[in-house]
Amino acid sequence: MYDVDSKNESEKRALTYEIKEHILREYPYKTELHAHTYPISPCSEFSPEALIETYLKTGVQAIALTNHFTHAHLAKSEPKEFAKAYIGAFYDFRDAAAARGIRAIFGAEIRFAENSNDYLLYGIDEKDILPLCAYLPLGLERFRREFYREGMLLIQAHPCRDGMTDMPLSLLDGIEAFNLHPGHNSRIAIAARRASEGGLLVTGGTDFHHPGHEGCCLMRSRELPTDSHELSALLRSRDFALEVSGSVILP
């Protein structure tokens, strides 16, 4: 489509700009893939309502709420109690988003008892939360074998941070190489290499918790996903781009 080799340096710069603008036009919809709210994620400084108000200035049309869902949560409350609270927090988020014209997408950032790894799970809905609780003590392999089903998408979040454990790539659908949480060293280049070596899907997200970090990394797409299942299918298609504060990445 673009003949780069025949151009001089000035023409190449102009062409680079043209390509970038073309991508932004062709992929106009912006989705945050990784965000947290309290009280379910107590590390977040934002309520569901406050997160929506903050994200309005980023121009996003959809946000995946991926609150923490860990084995430690179940040590503090019964599974039914936690599942009810988790789902209720999403409903609060969904209502706040709808009031401001933003689509709320159901997701989770799960952590099993076996280590400190985190996994973003898409392609789920409310009915999955209570049965998922039973797998948190059992580990990734058992989860993948017995709970995971077609249509779900399991992405290891920030796999190269301190304290993470390498797991068999065959248990993953993808890697969140471009985790843009400013408070952590996610070793983005190493994570991207790991994904490439495994032939895995590459995603990115803000991992939003704190003021001033909103919209650091967003997905851009041709179509806007309406729910977690459509988001999973869209990511699997690999027909998307990432935008890091105005810079375009083709994963």
Percentage above 70 pLDDT, the chain? 96
Dihedral class, residue 123 (left if φ above 0, else alpha if ψ from -120 to 50, else beta): left
59 Ramachandran zone, left/alpha/beta (phi>0; psi -120 to 50): left
Q: Look at residue 132 in the predicted model and tell me its pLDDT.
A: 96
Tally of CB atoms within 10 A around 34: 29
pLDDT for 6 beyond 60? no
- DSSP reduced 3-state for 116: coil
Identify the structural domains of the chain with CATH numbers, from first to last.
29-249 (3.20.20.140)
For 118-147, write each residue's pLDDT tens digit. Answer: 999 999 999 999 999 999 999 999 999 999
> Is it the case that residue 27 has pLDDT exceeding 90?
yes
Q: pLDDT tens, 161-188?
A: 999 999 999 999 999 999 999 889 999 9
**Which residues are 249's β-sheet partners?**
242
Label residue 43 by pLDDT band (50, 70, 90): very high
8 Å CB contact between 158 and 182: no
Taking all residues of the chain, what is their mean pLDDT, rounded to a whole number? Answer: 94
- Which pair of structure tokens corresponds to residue 84? 């009810």
Strands 174-179 and 201-205: parallel
Residues 159 and 187 sit within 8 Å (Cβ to Cβ):
no
Strands 218-221 and 29-35: antiparallel
Residue recorded with tokens 């993953």: 172
DSSP helix/strand/coil, 243? strand
First to last CA, the chain: 19
Quick one: three-class SS letters along 154-199? EEEECCCCCCCCCCCHHHCCEEEEEECCCCCCCCHHHHHHHHHHHC
pLDDT of 10 higher than 90: no
The whole-number pLDDT of residue 104 equals: 98
Q: Please check the confidence at residue 1 and state whether its pLDDT lies above 80.
A: no
Q: pLDDT-derived band of residue 238, with 50, 70 and 90 as boundaries?
A: very high
Classify burial at 36, counting beta carbons within 10 Å of its beta carbon; exposed 0-12, middle 13-18, buried 19 or more.
Answer: buried
Supply 246's token pair. 């105005």
* DSSP secondary structure letter of residue 249: E
Angle, alpha carbons 196-202-205 (nearest 5°): 145
C-alpha–C-alpha distance, residues 30 and 216, integer Å:
12
Beta strands in 6-149 (DSSP E): 29-35, 62-65, 68-70, 103-106, 108-111, 118-122
pLDDT recorded at residue 159: 95
* Token code pair at residue 177: 């190489």
